[in-house]
Structure 1
Amino acid sequence: MQPKRYSGYKSFSYLKPGEDYKEFRLSPELQRVDSSPVAVTSEQEERVKRIFQEQLIISLHDHCFIAPEDLSEFMEFRRWGRDFTGYEGLSISGLDAVFDNLMNGTAMITSRGGWKWTDIIHDLGIRLSDIDHQDMVVLCRTTEDIVNAKKNGQIAFIVSLEGAAMIENELDRIDILYGLGVRCLGIAYSEGNQLGGGLKEPRDGGLTTFGRQAVRRMNRLGMAIDVSHSGDQTSLDTIEVSDKPVFITHAGARQLWNSNRLKPDDVIRACAEKGGVIGIEAAPHTTISVRNPRHSIESFMEHFEYCVNLVGIDHVAFGPDVLFGDHVGLHTALSDALSIGASRGHLEYEKVPFVDGLENPAEAFPNIVRWLVTHGYSDDDIAKAVGGNVMRVLKEVWYR
């Protein structure tokens, strides 16, 4: 892929490890495991390169940080409040923009439960402080920032939060988050909150009165709304109440795999009918299927094609939800904290050590585009799926 203007900067290199913060050994950013690239001919690879040069490449959902190598240290690592961005990996990812969701559910500086207002602000401020000390990744506030990032060999960093529990019952906190750079906010992250129901709740009562007020506030501010981790009824209510299109930033089709973590057809259709977009998810053991029970790029793309057939190419994109490090091990370490088992419904599946072809943000979109090229998709359709559809929604949803 066309490399970005990377200077070699490493996170927090303006500070002294061991003096300013506790040092942890981090996972390798690249070639941590033997993940397989999608096979293409030399002619097809030239086409792939041209697509990356000419089209906007936008990830609708990722976590571009580097996990510690020893995941038994993860909670202590997070309590120090410093996520190290994988700048080297991002420099070869081909991305022009990424909806980065920090690690908001594990911002546990003051609480083991996470999602506290002070912790979220701490998480956001420290991450943006590090980003401000280099010039390849830039904070994104407008669609023009995305266009300029591509033009300048940079990556637009779109701050996103997966759930709104931290606003509690204070509507103006959405304005504060917007003012600090947040441009996409989820309604609920698995556990229900003041706005509505999450995926793991036994009953989803839908969007609350306060949740309806929050949706209207986000519309007026120009903040994108995400229902990926919201319950089905809360998702449908949010899409109905919103004046603007809504994102399902990272999910798949429940029709292919009966997991609460994936969306049923009626929610995907409602999202598309409102002009919204679903981003296909690749976090370990999510987008699998009866036909492809071993999670890989093949099962992931089966969910993509199902959604394209269901609602059309104009309403499907990619939100891989990957990171730099052992994602499978991280899910094991955080299973209780992030309600992973509960949100998936405790289904039986073949466990993999990593998702082949979609191991981290450096390889996800190059392999996605290669797969699309080798499966007969036109340049126009590829352009829509890898960035064009997301940009269309942002132009309608964001204030500018």
Structure 2
Amino acid sequence: MKKILIALLALFLLYVIAISTIPSYIENERNPVKSSGPYRVSDEAQAFYDSLDFIADLHCDALLWGRDLTERGDRGHVDFPRMREANVAFEMFTIVSKSPSGQNMQQNSAETFDNITPLTIVKGESPFNWFSLINRTLSQSSDLNDFISKDGRTIFIQSKADLQKLITLRAEDKNTIGAMLGIEGAHALEGDLLNIDRVFEAGVRMIGPTHFFDNELGGSAHGESGDGLTEFGKAAVRRMNDLGIFVDLAHSSPAIADDVLAISTQPVIVSHTGVRAVLDSQRNLSDEQIKKIAEKGGIIGVAFFDMAVGEPELPNIIASIKHIRDLVGIEYVALGSDYDGSVAVPFDITGLPLIVEGLLKEGFTKTEIRAVMGENVKEFFLKNLR
């Protein structure tokens, strides 16, 4: 019995050590920043950046890694203090609940070993989360709510009234910031429509039908089938429309995108993407898709990482924004970084002035730059949030 107790104690100590060291190591490996701050731009670009009323980003996976987002981190890309340092008003925090081993842009199986399971365990999460996608999802939702409560100056954006409150408070104090909640991949619903209501009650206002593999809703852009929406997927989209949850077409197969655009009664979001005209990848939007999304009144967030825009990233981010503007209009384009999304990025959130400088050099007007940096996101949600 004594040997068993010693062995159990040793295992417990090893688990405590793992909790305190492994998640940070994994995040450092998975979310590098290619160029560390502080980031320098021209006086003109910095002054204009500082004058922006509303800077917004449509995609960040920071909730996955177990960091306290109320504290300024020395790893990763986003937290509340860095949002304030960067004058960012609004961030869409997205929940990742499953990621296939060997994840790639071409083809992934839902049956592949899940990378998030061991991360969930070594983060010290409840055993109820270890093998349940919906529990992981609700847990990350709860984490964001806890961070917001602890911070005291962050608004949890769940309604138009919440967004209007954020806008009003920021007019007096730019340290007031807003956070919205999304889900990356509706496999998190575990095939149960009732879970859409559960995540809505938890604050979720955006869901992507698929992530890197096919699921109960249909095919992923990186899956095996290329299928459109299943009957369950169509029912899920209708329920999302009923509740006021936006459909995010990032990572969806072209067939799903067509199906969603055909049946959705609400505009769609593409939270983080590139365009095929800049980088020809199955990850990215074709001109035809961009036109259909714009016709539906949607909004497109341009991602920051090389597999979406190519290298070097910054000029290709600018080129992607320019292509969407020239194709359908400036009002349909936004920032969709994919910060903390297991990607290497050229700069963290404090480097956003570099985008303003790049847009100025490319001849964008200040009105256009304001639109891209956040006004489009603000107007989209003021129009479509309930």
Residues 39 and 350 of structure 2 are in contact (CA less than 8 Å); yes or no, is this contact kept in structure 1? no
One-letter identity of the residue aligned with 1:360: D
Q: How does 1:152-171 map to 2 (within 5 A)?
A: 152=173, 153-171=175-193
Residues 277 and 316 of structure 1 are in contact (CA less than 8 Å); yes or no, is this contact kept in structure 2? yes
Q: 1:214 to 1:176 in 2, by over 3 A?
A: same
Q: CA deviation at 1:274?
A: 0.6
Distance 2:33 2:230 in 1: 45
- Equivalent of residue 39 in structure 1, options 38, 41, 48: 41
User: What is residue 84 of structure 1 aligned with on the other side?
Assistant: 68
Q: CA deviation at 1:396?
A: 3.6
Distance 1:397 1:218 in 2: 13
Distance 1:170 1:111 in 2: 18
Residues 90 and 177 of structure 2 are in contact (CA less than 8 Å); yes or no, is this contact kept in structure 1? yes
Q: CA deviation at 1:385?
A: 1.5
User: What is residue 371 of structure 1 aligned with on the other side?
Assistant: 358
* RMSD after superposition: 3.0
User: What is residue 233 of structure 1 aligned with on the other side?
Assistant: 255
User: What is residue 75 of structure 2 aligned with on the other side?
Assistant: none
User: What is residue 204 of structure 2 aligned with on the other side?
Assistant: 182
Identity across matched positions, percent: 22
Q: 1:113 to 1:207 in 2, by over 3 A?
A: farther
User: What is residue 61 of structure 2 aligned with on the other side?
Assistant: 63
User: What is residue 316 of structure 2 aligned with on the other side?
Assistant: 299
Q: How does 1:180-219 map to 2 (within 5 A)?
A: 180-219=202-241
- Equivalent of residue 220 in structure 1, options 238, 242, 255: 242
Residues 294 and 332 of structure 2 are in contact (CA less than 8 Å); yes or no, is this contact kept in structure 1? yes
One-letter identity of the residue aligned with 1:230: S
TM-score by length of 2: 0.76
Greater helix content:
2
Q: CA deviation at 1:47?
A: 2.4
User: What is residue 137 of structure 2 aligned with on the other side?
Assistant: 120
Q: 1:95 to 1:19 in 2, by over 3 A?
A: same
Q: How does 1:299-338 map to 2 (within 5 A)?
A: 299-323=316-340, 330-331=342-343
Residues 219 and 397 of structure 1 are in contact (CA less than 8 Å); yes or no, is this contact kept in structure 2? no
User: What is residue 385 of structure 1 aligned with on the other side?
Assistant: 372
Gap runs ≥5 in structure 2: 1-14, 70-78, 100-115, 121-126
Q: CA deviation at 1:113?
A: 9.7
Q: CA deviation at 1:126?
A: 2.8
Q: CA deviation at 1:19?
A: 8.0
Tell me the SS of whatever aligns to 1:133. helix
Tell me the SS of whatever aligns to 2:98. helix
Distance 1:92 1:263 in 2: 32
Residues 163 and 382 of structure 2 are in contact (CA less than 8 Å); yes or no, is this contact kept in structure 1? no
Residues 63 and 321 of structure 1 are in contact (CA less than 8 Å); yes or no, is this contact kept in structure 2? yes
User: What is residue 48 of structure 1 aligned with on the other side?
Assistant: 49
Distance 1:56 1:376 in 2: 21
* 217-226 vs 139-148, greater mean Cα deviation: 139-148
One-letter identity of the residue aligned with 1:186: G
Gap runs ≥5 in structure 1: 1-17, 66-77, 289-293, 332-353
User: What is residue 98 of structure 1 aligned with on the other side?
Assistant: 91
Q: 1:93 to 1:238 in 2, by over 3 A?
A: same
Bigger radius of gyration among the two? 2
Tell me the SS of whatever aligns to 2:281. coil
Distance 1:30 1:88 in 2: 19
